[in-house]
A and B are shown apart, each in its own frame.
Chain A
Amino acid sequence: MKVKILHLYNNLMNLYGEYANISILCRHLSEQGVECEIIKSDSCEGFELSDFDFIYVGSGTEAAQERAAADLIRKKDELLSCAAAGTVMLFTGNSFELLGSKITEDDGKVLEGIGLKDFETKVSYKKRYTGDCVCSCKFIEKPFVGFINKGSQTFGITEPLFQMQMGEGNSEGDKGEGFRQYNVFGTHLIGPILVKNPHFTKYIIELLTKGDKHFSYTDKFSPYEQGSYEITLRELNKRMNT
């Protein structure tokens, strides 16, 4: 079996070591006997999005986000049809805002989003929301750990991806964070969230391999990943309880 991966805006939107999400996913796919092909590009021009099984975008500066928005909008229809067809996608950090209907920048400029869901984001240069996170989602039992680092608030998401036990939600006072539509996951958790949450990597692999009836997931023990996750969760829990 082979999985085709598109790491979109790999230079433009790669502020917090996001490339590691692709590295860890490919390592685990290979361990499961699945071949990986990775295409990296700072533009979605030049290929068919429907050729890919997994599309990933990370976080960038506000200026980089504007560039990415202008590029991605040209493939709006293609992206929406891929989403509806079940392509697995992960948008982390402020790239997730691109999937809503619009982003209003600090200076009032409005960026048009893909409109996969009808939510909108307001960016501010004055206030940043930063902090460690612990959160849970409906389809995976174990809690997630991560970090949020954003200068924006997102409004209008009725079915969020996560419930936050620690850390900022989509907007001030909102415990809901991110969103899921079909197999598209959007979250403001930054950086290598697949590295930090091995259970999420496993879940993504199960989604990617669902179509192959000969495939079955074999659990492989990765002590460093488990250790990293457990210690981070332990430290954050200690923090929450003090």
Chain B
Amino acid sequence: MRAFFVILICKLLKFIGGVIGRGSSLPGQIALKLYPGILGKIKLPSYIIAVTGSNGKTSTVEMIAHILQNNGKTVAWNREGSNQIEGVTTLILSSCTLGGRMKSDILLIESDERYARYTFSYFHPTHYVMTNLYRDQLTRNGHPQWVYEALSHSIHNDTQLILNADDPLISKFGQGREDTLYFGLDKLKTSINYNDGVYDDGIYCPLCFGKMEYDYYHYNHIGSYHCTACGFHRHDTSFTVTDADMEKKIIQIDGKYTIPLAFTGMYNIYNILAAYSACRVAGISGDKIADSIGNYMLKNGRIVGFNLGDHEGVMLTSKHENSVSYDQSLKYIRSTKDRCSVIVIVDAVSRKYFTGETSWLWDINFDHLDCPHVENIYLSGTYVNDLALRFSFTDIPSEKIKPIADIQQCVDYIKSSGNEKLYCVTCFSDKDKLLSRVETL
């Protein structure tokens, strides 16, 4: 009876919240206060897929939901944000019957790395997709090893792990777990034989601290590695990108499924592969997945087209305090061919908390933008000096670098000059400061 009332209250609060436009974590928060063990009382579906990791959670979850729904499955899932226990509680209680039974075929959960241990103490996912662990929001996360430690408490014996084989720290979770499945990329034409980041988090083995060697890298420390001391190495994969052609914008998975890409960024390829892996495990065939996800445009606003004067623009939403996320956006710009300019905005470091910490700028390899087709680099926002100082240590010719602190002035300046393509690289916390001043598509 207690569960009945708590579910009812949660549903009502969710409804009211929807009407007044409030976030989706409050109803769950109140439900947990009223009945801390409520999640343990719900009859959950036979497939519970969780997704976690530093980068790609939201996009991967959106793709999994899209594929599953496209193939006739009903899915309950948490859209953008709300990935801590309160948001997950809102999701579960608002999508179950008043009798406490979930009607969906599949419960799909994006989970915050640090709080997954709390969420999954009440129930365990049947399948747990882990994308990567990078230096991410170190101002609150300490460092990737620390997040690894927190995340390890969220893994239970009755959960099957689906891991990114190309990330050494993520792969460590599979040690001693026989039923673990791995996904990864074969050596591709885009593979390189050096770490192209500013720092190298793949130098030392995450198991024994021995020296690691790589056969190839896809980007930063993601690639095919082995430890020269203990033998820890990239695991063979069950789900694999076997070929990629960035010019033709296609990838091939498992040697037979060709998937056209709406966006050729390397992280998009990993997200598609992670989604493919989860959906295969959920019983969808490879060709049906390929049909569903081909040319898929994400709806979560991570990539947004816009116009500014004669410039055709693309917002590549990246994450402040997350150098790999920036590196990926910068590498994508480098891989394009048309003449372009880039605007980088650092105004509020985070949307969730205040900090003036900008050490992470030094971990980003801005030299990716040192290429002839990048004509101007505009820097803007409160921390414009930190950006300009960081750029002064790149090899990019200084005349290309244009710091304009005020975002409106910067936008006006760009609007009145040139017609080259424009890429904006910034974070969720700052992207609307540009998008509200341009014509979005």
CB proximity to A under 8 Å, residues B361-414: 361-363, 382-386, 388-389, 392-393, 403
Q: Would you give the 0/1 interface string for A29-72, flagging 1 where the beta carbon is closer than 8 Å to chain B?
A: 00000000000000000000000000000000111100100000
Q: Are the CB atoms of B357 and A191 closer together than 8 Å?
A: yes
Q: Mark A187-207, 1 if CB is under 8 A from B, else 0.
A: 000111001100000000000
B114-157: contact bitstring with A at CB < 8 Å (1 yes, 0 no)?
00000000000000000000010011101101100100000000
**Any chain B CB within 8 A of the CB of A224?**
yes
Given A62-B145, A192-B362, A147 and B139 contact (CB-CB distance below 8 Å): yes
A residues whose Cβ falls under 8 Å from a Cβ of B: 11-12, 14-20, 23, 27, 61-64, 67, 125, 128, 130-132, 145, 147, 149, 151, 190-192, 195-196, 223-228, 231-232, 235-236, 239
Say how far A8's CB is from chain B's closest CB, in angstroms. 15
| Contacting pair A15 B357 (CB below 8 A) | no
Q: Does B209 contact A (CB under 8 A)?
A: yes
Question: Contact: A232 with B356, CB < 8 Å?
Answer: yes
CB-defined contacts of B388 to chain A, threshold 8 Å: 224
Tell me if B385 and A149 are in contact (CB < 8 A). no
Chain B nearest CB, measured from A71 CB (Å):
12
The 5 residue pairs across chains A and B that have the minimum distance between CB atoms: A17-B362, A191-B359, A227-B385, A224-B389, A228-B385
Distance of A27 Cα from B261 Cα, bound (Å)? 44
Cβ of A63 and Cβ of B209 under 8 Å apart?
yes
A225 and B138: CB pair below 8 A? Answer: no
Pair A15/B135 contact, Cβ less than 8 Å: yes
What are the residues of chain B within 8 A of A14 when measuring CB–CB? 199
- Please name the residue on chain B nearest to A195 by beta carbon: B389
Residues of B within 8 A of A131 (CB): 355
Residues of A within 8 A of B199 (CB): 11, 14, 17, 19
Does chain A have a CB within 8 A of B200? yes
- Interface residues of chain B, those whose CB is within 8 Å of chain A, are 135, 138-140, 142-143, 145-146, 149, 198-200, 203-204, 209, 354-363, 382-386, 388-389, 392-393, 403
Contact of B383 among A19, A62, A64, A231 (CB under 8 A): A231
* Residues in chain A near residue B140, CB distance under 8 A: 130
Among B145, B360, B392, the residue within 8 A (CB) of A224 is B392
Asked if A235 contacts B359 (CB within 8 A), the reply is no
Q: Closest A residue to B209 by CB, please name it.
A: A67
State the CA gap A228–B392 with chains docked (Å). 13
A121 to B383, CA, bound (A): 34
Chain A residues positioned under 8 Å from B403 (CB to CB)? 224
B354 and A61 contact, CB distance less than 8 A: no
The answer to whether A223 touches B385, judged by C-beta atoms less than 8 angstroms apart, is yes
* Smallest CB gap from B382: residue in A: A231
Smallest CB separation, B356 vs chain A (Å): 5
Could you say which residues of chain A place their CB within 8 Å of the CB of B392? 224
Evaluate contact between B383 and A228: CB separation under 8 angstroms.
yes
Q: Give bound CA distance, A14 to B203, whole Å.
A: 12
From the candidates B145, B362, B385, name the one contacting A61 in the complex (CB within 8 A). Answer: B145
Chain A residues with CB under 8 A of B359: 16-18, 20, 147, 190-192
Chain B residues near A20 (CB-CB < 8 A):
359, 362, 393
Q: Is the CB of B356 within 8 A of A236?
A: yes
Contacts of B383 in A (CB 8 A): 228, 231
Given A224-B385, A224-B392: A151 and B357 interface contact (C-beta under 8 Å): no
Residues of B near A125 (CB, < 8 A) are 146, 149
Return chain A residues, CB-CB under 8 Å to B143: 15, 61
Q: Which of B139, B142, B204, B384 contacts A151 (CB 8 A)?
A: B142
Once bound together, how far apart are the Cα atoms of A192 and B359, in whole Å? Answer: 6
Q: Which of B135, B146, B203 contacts A11 (CB 8 A)?
A: B203
Chain B residues with CB under 8 A of A195:
362, 389
- Contact check: which of B204, B355, B382, B393 meets A132 at CB < 8 Å? B355
- Which A residues are in CB contact (< 8 Å) with B356? 132, 145, 147, 232, 235-236
Report which of A23, A145, A149 forms a contact with B139, defined as CB distance below 8 A: A149
- How far is B198's CA from A39's CA once the two chains are assembled, in angstroms? 17
CA distance A196 to B362 in the complex (A): 12
Task: Write the nearest CB–CB distance from A201 to chain B, whole angstroms.
Answer: 12
- Report the Cα distance A125→B199, complex, angstroms: 24
Closest residue of chain B to A193 (Cβ to Cβ) is: B359
- B386 contacts across to A, CB distance below 8 A: 224, 228
By beta carbon, the residue of chain B nearest A10 is B199
Tell which of B354, B362, B385 touches A191, judged by Cβ atoms closer than 8 Å. B362
Q: Which residues of A contact B362 (CB under 8 A)?
A: 17, 19-20, 191-192, 195
Residues of A within 8 A of B355 (CB): 131-132, 147
B270 to chain A, nearest CB (A): 24
User: How far does the alpha carbon of A73 sit from the alpha carbon of B200 in the complex, in Å?
Assistant: 25
